[in-house]
Chain A
Amino acid sequence: MSALRTAALAALCGAAACGRPEPPSVAPSPASSTARDVVLFLGDSLTAGYGVDAEEAYPALLEERWKAAGRAVRARNAGVSGTTTAGVLENLDWSLTPEVAVAIVAIGANDGMRGQDLAAVERNIDAILARVKAAGVRPVLAGMMLPPNYGEEYCRRFAALYPRAARRAGAALIPFVLEGVAGVKEFNQSDGIHPNAAGHRRIADTVAAALEKEGLP
C-alpha cells in the first residue's frame, strides 16, 4: 500500500517538475495518508444513472443517506453507460485510489445483452474482484439478471455466475440489485430497461440493506 502511495507521489512530483506552473487538470489524490472513506461504485448505465441526474442515481442517494446518518463516507460514481466487464477490468487503475474502502461491482448486463461468451464474462468478474482485493479494498458483487427474452438457458447460466464468482473471491453478494424494480412500470423510464428516479431510490434501499448486513460501509 505505501509502495503505491510512494509511486503516486513520485509520479505527481515528476509531472509537476516537467510540467508548467498551471495546476494539473486531473486533481491528484491527496498525497498525505488519509482515511479510507470512499465507497466506489463500479458499473454500467444503471450505476451511472442513465436518463436521470447524477444526484438521483443510487450512489449519490446512498451518500446522502450516509451523511444524514452522520457517517463521513463519500460515494464515487465510476459508472459508465454501455460498459462491459472487460471495460471495467481495463480501467480499474483510475478508480482504485488510496481513499477507496469498499468497491461495489454491478457489471455484466451489457455483456449479456450482447450475447457474449459467459465463460469470458465470469473470468473478467473474477479478475475484477481479485484486483479490488489486491488493492486492499473490500469487494461487494451485485448479482445481475437478464430479461427473459434472452432465453431461459442463457439467462439461467448468466445469473448463476455471480454467486459463484462472489464465493470464489470471498466477496459479499447483493443477490439482485434490481429486485422489485425490473419490469415494474412505475420504476422505469420509457425504454423499459433503465430505472427512473423512483427506481433508483428503490435500488438504494436494496443496496443499503445488503451493505448493512455486511456491516458496510
Chain B
Amino acid sequence: MTRLAARLIRRRWARLLFLSACLAAGSAFLAAGDILLAALGGAVASRARDILGADLELSSARPFGPAVDAALAGLTAGGARATSVTAFSTMLSAEGPAGVPRLASVRAVEPGYPLRGTVDTEPPGAIARLFTGDACLLDAAAARQHGAKPGSRVRLGALTLTVAGVVTRESGRTLNRFQLAPRVYMARALVERSGLARFGARIKHERLIALPPSREPESAARAAAAGLEARLADPYLSVTAFSDAEPTTRQALGRLTNYFTMVSLVTFLLGAGAMASGLAAFLDEELETAAVLRCLGLTGPQTRSLYRTLCLFVGLQAGVLGALGGWALAAAALAFLRRGFGLELPASAGLDPRAAAEAVLLAAACAWAVSEAKVRALAGVPPLEVLRERAERLPPTPRGTAALLAAAAAAVYAYVLWKTSSADTARWFTAAVTGTSAALTLGCLASLRAVAAAARRPGLPLAVRLGLISLARRPARSLPFLFTLAAGFGLLGALDLVRHSLAKELAAGRAAERPELFLVDVQRAQLDAVRGLARRWGRGEPAFAPLIRARLAAVNGVAPARRPVDGLGQEGRARQRMLLREFNLTYADALNPSETLRAGAFWGPGEQAGLASLEEGFAKRTGLKLGDRLVFDVQGRPVSAVVASLRAVDWLAMRPNFFVVLPTAVLEKAPQHHIGSLTVRDPVRSAASTASEAALPRDSARSDAFRRALAEAAPNVSVIDAGEALDQVSEVLAVLLAALKGLAWFCVAVGLLVLAGALALGSRERRADAALLRALGAGTRLLVGADSTAFAAAGLSTFVLGAGAAYGLGALLAARLDVAFAPDAPGLAALLASALLLPPAVGLGASAPAYRAAPLETLRREE
C-alpha cells in the first residue's frame, strides 16, 4: 500500500507540489505573521518602554511607605531593577543678580537612571556627573532660557549647582505628561539639602521598575502592575504599565495586529480554497486509475486509505514548506524593516519548533478535511461506471460539502478566537466570511446563468459561442473556478482598501503637519495679538477656540445629584462622574475641519437659541441624547441649551476640540479664555522621514523667537510643546506603515499564486478540448478566440463580483477595526483591472502549448 502510494506520489510529484504550494503560501504567511508581529510588538513595546523610561511606574503625591518597599523587594528578588525619582516644579535661575527665576520641572534621580532608554547629553555621559558633586543637567529649553551652558552655575532652592551638560534626547516623556516647564536633572541625594521638599511641598514620588526579560513583556508588565495594585490597594498610589503609557502606538499596533490576523487568515483560506479545488480536480482525474485499481482487487477502504495518504502527504508537504517559507519570509521582512528604520528588531527570528509543528499539523488537517468527502466518493464509485465513461467526475456530495463548509466555518471561528481572544471578533469574522462566501456563490451562479444566456444568442461567432458554452455548461468546474477568482480578488481588494484606510490613519497619527505647540490661557483681549504672532511664526493657520468652564446644573429639569455608588455598576459610576465634573464648553457657529455631523442639525451663524452639540462618544458615556434640555452653571449663572446634534471628532488632528459646543451668541459673553494649537517646526521632515532624519534638530530658532514674542505680548499665556513626544510616536508609526506596505505586496504574490491555481483547474481539460477541436480542423485563431472568450467572461464576472466583495467586505473590516473607511479608488481600480485581465492572460498562457502543437501530442500528454 505504501509502495503504491509512494509510486503515485512520485509520478505526480509536480502536480502535488503545486497543490502543496497553494496552501504553503497561506501557511507561510500565518507563520511569518506571527513572527513578525511578535518582533514588531517587541520593538514597539521597547519603544513604549523608552518613552516611559521603565516597564512600570509607581507614583504618588505622598512618600512611599514600607508596604511599597516590601512589594518592590519582592519584584527585585525576582530579577527586576528599580530606581526612585522625585519630581517637582520649582523656580530656577542663573547664578548672580541678573538671573531671572523661571519655572523648571525637576527630576531628581539616582544612579542607574534611566532603566530603559537613554538620557543623551552634550557633552556625552554627563549624567554620571550628577552623582559626583553638586551638578545638574538642563534640557535645551532651560539652557536657552537662562543662557546657560556646561560649566555655568544655577540656583535651585538653597542649592547652587554646576551645569554638567545639556540634554539632547531623553526617555521618560509621554504624551500624557506635557511639561509646561523645561526639565532639570539633579541627584536625588541633593533634594533634602535644597530645602524644597519640606512639609506641604507638592512632590511627585516615583518608583520606576524594569522587569526581567520575558517572552511577552506587555502582559508581564500589566500582570505586575495589577499585582502591585492589588497588593498595595492604596487609592493614593498610581501604578502604570508601559503598555498603557503611550496609547497611540499601542492602539495602532493593536489595530495592526488584528488586521494582520485577518489578513493571514484570509490568505490561508484562499490557499486552502485553491488547494481544495486543486485536490478535487486531482481526485477527479484519478477516477480512472482508482477504478482500475478497484478492478484489480483493491477494496474500497484500501482505495480510501491510499488517496487519503496522498492528500495527507500534500498537507504535510504544505506544512513543511509553509513553516520554512514563513521563517524565510519573516527573516526577509525583519531585515527590510531593520535596514529602513532604527527600531530594535531581533537580529533573526529563530525557527520555533512548536510553531513549525503547529503549521504542519494545521496544513495536514486542512488537506485531510477538504479532501475527505471526495476521497470517500472516489472509493465508492462503481468501477465499471467509470470505465464505461458514464461517470466523468465524482458525484457532488451535498452532505459531504455541507459538512465540510460547516467544519470550515467552525475552524475559522476557533482560529480567530484563539488568535484574538475575542469571541466577538471571532463571531464577526466567521459571519463575514460565511456571508461573503454565500453572496459570492450566488453571484457566481448568476454569472453562469448570464453566460449561458449569452451563449444562446443567435448570430454569435463560433469561437465566442464555444468559449461561453465551455464556461456555462460545466458548472461543477466553472463554479469553483469563478468562486476562487472572485473570492480571491474580492478579499485581496478588501484587504487593500482596509490597508489603505489603516495607513491613512496611521499617517495622520504621525503627520508632521500636526500642531506641536499648544497655547493655554489666552485672554480674549489678547487673542488678536497672539493669533497674529502665531501666524507670523507658525506655519499654516493656527487654530484657536474659546474655553468656558461650567458645571451641569440640570438635565431635563433634574439636577444630576450624586447617588450612592453601591447601586451603580461601573458604567453608571463612570456616567455619574462625567456628569458631575467640570465641563469645558466652547462656542462656535460652524463645524471645524476635524468634526463631522452624525445626528441632528448644526446651527448656522447668528444662531441665538440655546442649543448644544455633543461629541458622540461623550453623549454615549453620559447617556445624554438629542432633545435633552440641559442647564449649565457657568460660574454661578445658568445657561440653558437643548441638545440639537451629535458630532464625531477626529481627536488625532490635535486641534482644540470639545465635548460640548454652544452657539456663539449664547456664550460669547461668558468668562472664557482661549486655547490654541499651531505648528512651528518644518513640515518637510515628515511623512517620508526615517529614523535618521528624525534625529535632526528641530526648528528651535523659530520656536524660541515665537516664545519670546509671546512672553512679551501675553506673559500669562503658557506654551506646551508636544513635539518631541510626537516625534517618537511618529517613528513607530512609520515602521508600522512600512510593514503594511510590505504586506500588500505579499498579498499580491499570494493572490497570483491562488489565481494560477484556480486557472490550473481544468487546464488539462481545456488543452484536450483544444486538441480535439484542432483535430476537427479548427485554426489557432478559433482556439484562442474560444478560450479568450471563456476567460474574458470569467474575468468580467470576477471584476463585478470582486468589486462588490472588496467594497462590502472592506467597509465591514474597516468598521470592525475602528478605522475610517477611505476607499482608494486607484488601488482598487488597479486590482480589478488585473481581475479582468489576468485570467485571460494566465489562462491563455497555460493553454498555449495546445494551440501550436499537433493534436495527438497534446492528447497523448494529457492522458
A and B touch in the complex (CB under 8 A): yes
Q: Chain B: which residue is nearest A151 at the CB level? A: B91
Q: CA A94 – CA B667 in complex, angstroms? A: 11
The residues of A that contact B609 with a CB separation of less than 8 Å are: 20, 22, 25
Closest 6 CB pairs of A and B: A115-B103, A25-B610, A91-B671, A192-B61, A76-B636, A183-B200
Indicate if the CB atoms of A94 and B202 lie closer than 8 Å. no
The residues of B that contact A93 with a CB separation of less than 8 Å are: 669
B266-274, B590-598, B637-645 - the one binding chain A: B637-645
Contact A149:B608 (CB < 8 A) given known A54-B551, A81-B549 = no
Indicate if the CB atoms of A26 and B637 lie closer than 8 Å. yes
Least distance between B560 CB and chain A CB atoms (Å): 10
Q: CA A197 – CA B686 in complex, angstroms? A: 49
Q: CA A148 – CA B91 in complex, angstroms? A: 11
Tell me whether A136 is interfacial, beta carbon within 8 Å: no
Q: CA A81 – CA B548 in complex, angstroms? A: 10
The residues of B that contact A182 with a CB separation of less than 8 Å are: 200
The residues of B that contact A154 with a CB separation of less than 8 Å are: 91, 101
Tell me whether B670 is interfacial, beta carbon within 8 Å: yes
Tell me whether B580 is interfacial, beta carbon within 8 Å: yes
Indicate if the CB atoms of B715 and A150 lie closer than 8 Å. no
Indicate if the CB atoms of A79 and B635 lie closer than 8 Å. yes
Tell me whether A191 is interfacial, beta carbon within 8 Å: yes
Indicate if the CB atoms of B235 and A111 lie closer than 8 Å. no
The residues of A that contact B90 with a CB separation of less than 8 Å are: 149-151
Tell me whether B562 is interfacial, beta carbon within 8 Å: yes
0/1 string, A63-90, CB within 8 A of B gives 1: 0000000000000111111111111001
Contact A190:B666 (CB < 8 A) given known A86-B523, A95-B671 = no
The residues of B that contact A192 with a CB separation of less than 8 Å are: 61-62, 202-203
Tell me whether B812 is interfacial, beta carbon within 8 Å: no
Tell me whether A113 is interfacial, beta carbon within 8 Å: yes
Tell me whether B695 is interfacial, beta carbon within 8 Å: no
Q: Chain B: which residue is nearest A183 at the CB level? A: B200
Indicate if the CB atoms of B198 and A148 lie closer than 8 Å. yes
Indicate if the CB atoms of A149 and B196 lie closer than 8 Å. yes
Tell me whether B195 is interfacial, beta carbon within 8 Å: yes
Number of A-B pairs, beta carbon distance below 8 Å: 155
Indicate if the CB atoms of A26 and B666 lie closer than 8 Å. yes
Q: Chain A: which residue is nearest B199 at the CB level? A: A183
The residues of A that contact B523 with a CB separation of less than 8 Å are: 86-87, 90
CB within 8 Å of B: which A104-163 residues: 111, 113-117, 120, 147-154
Q: CA A62 – CA B715 in complex, angstroms? A: 35
Tell me whether A40 is interfacial, beta carbon within 8 Å: yes
Tell me whether B158 is interfacial, beta carbon within 8 Å: yes
Q: CA A85 – CA B524 in complex, angstroms? A: 14
Q: Which of B60, B180, B200, B670 contacts A148 (CB 8 A)?
A: B200
Contact A83:B201 (CB < 8 A) given known A115-B181, A116-B716, A191-B61 = no
Tell me whether B415 is interfacial, beta carbon within 8 Å: no
The residues of B that contact A54 with a CB separation of less than 8 Å are: 551, 580, 633
CB within 8 Å of A: which B551-596 residues: 551, 562, 580, 582
The residues of B that contact A26 with a CB separation of less than 8 Å are: 637-639, 666, 669-670
Indicate if the CB atoms of B635 and A80 lie closer than 8 Å. yes
Tell me whether B317 is interfacial, beta carbon within 8 Å: no
Least distance between B690 CB and chain A CB atoms (Å): 37
The residues of A that contact B671 with a CB separation of less than 8 Å are: 78, 80, 87, 90-91, 94-95
The residues of B that contact A111 with a CB separation of less than 8 Å are: 716
CB within 8 Å of A: which B64-122 residues: 88-91, 101-104
- Provide 22 A-B residue pairs closer than 8 Å at the C-beta atoms, listed in order of the A residue: A26-B669, A76-B635, A76-B636, A86-B521, A86-B523, A90-B524, A90-B671, A94-B635, A95-B635, A95-B636, A114-B103, A114-B180, A115-B89, A147-B200, A149-B88, A149-B90, A149-B201, A154-B101, A182-B200, A190-B236, A192-B203, A193-B61
The residues of A that contact B640 with a CB separation of less than 8 Å are: 23, 25, 27
The residues of A that contact B196 with a CB separation of less than 8 Å are: 148-151
Q: CA A23 – CA B639 in complex, angstroms? A: 11
The residues of B that contact A149 with a CB separation of less than 8 Å are: 88-90, 157, 196-197, 201-203
The residues of A that contact B88 with a CB separation of less than 8 Å are: 149
Q: CA A24 – CA B715 in complex, angstroms? A: 37
Q: Chain A: which residue is nearest B641 at the CB level? A: A25
Least distance between A67 CB and chain B CB atoms (Å): 16
Least distance between B156 CB and chain A CB atoms (Å): 8
Tell me whether B672 is interfacial, beta carbon within 8 Å: yes
Q: Which of A27, A84, A94 contacts B669 (CB 8 A)?
A: A94
